[in-house]
Amino acid sequence: MNKRTFSIKEALGFGWETAKENLGFFVMLLLVAALIYLIPWSVALLLSERGFLWSSMGVSMVDFVLTAIIWMGIIKISLNFYDKKESEIEDIVSPYYLFFKYLLASIVYFIIVILGFVLFIVPGIYLAIRLWFFDYFIIDKEMGPLDSLKSSFHATKGNVLKLLLFLILMGVINILGVLLLVIGLFITIPVTILASVFAYRKLSEQIAITKGTDS
């Protein structure tokens, strides 16, 4: 089998072209995502300032769940664009039923990466990159928490340095978006997420994976 890899240039090119051709959709998507996040966050802050700490914590929990679902929805929509499937704004909440898989996988991911950082930082960076695509596998293949982490580890084999460079470039792109009066983020965020989906697809398509398992 050939070494699994992907082209950073092609990934960013796909992200740019797709975001540019569907700019109106992505601007609306990000505005909806921001509203879903900011409304409960603002309510929680207001309750906290007025001394209703338990109520504030409850609203913050709701905000946390909504934020996770929104992120999963954005990945789902981006996968649809890669697969040339139609997407609607409402799809931003469509993966809600995968929340607990995502939550458990995120906790395991966090623990593993933190332990890696305790071991002199470099192992933490290495593990964070190797396990990066776990949420993509959950949303795309509906895998369980451990299977998603294992599949990401297999898919990223031999591509750590390239993925590190890719992540740095995407970070720089989004910093440029912030510098462009923040409005630039409406372009750079879709570009980088779509580019990430491209990288995920190219790496995951080259390993034998079935729903819920990997071989």
In tens, the pLDDT along 77-97 reads 999 999 999 999 999 999 999
Cα separation of 15 and 19, whole Å? 6
> Predicted confidence band at 103 (pLDDT cuts at 50, 70, 90)?
very high
In a domain, 214, yes or no: no
In a domain, 20, yes or no: yes
pTM value? 0.89
In a domain, 199, yes or no: yes
Q: What is the mean pLDDT of residues 172-176?
A: 94
Residue 209 has pLDDT above 70, yes or no: no
In a domain, 213, yes or no: no
Q: Could you tell me the sign of the dihedral formed by the alpha carbons of 15, 159, 166, 13, in that order?
A: negative
Write down the pLDDT at residue 22: 95
Domain total of the chain: 1
Cα separation of 44 and 50, whole Å? 10
In a domain, 47, yes or no: yes
Q: Which domain holds residue 20?
A: 8-203
> Predicted confidence band at 181 (pLDDT cuts at 50, 70, 90)?
confident
> Predicted confidence band at 130 (pLDDT cuts at 50, 70, 90)?
very high
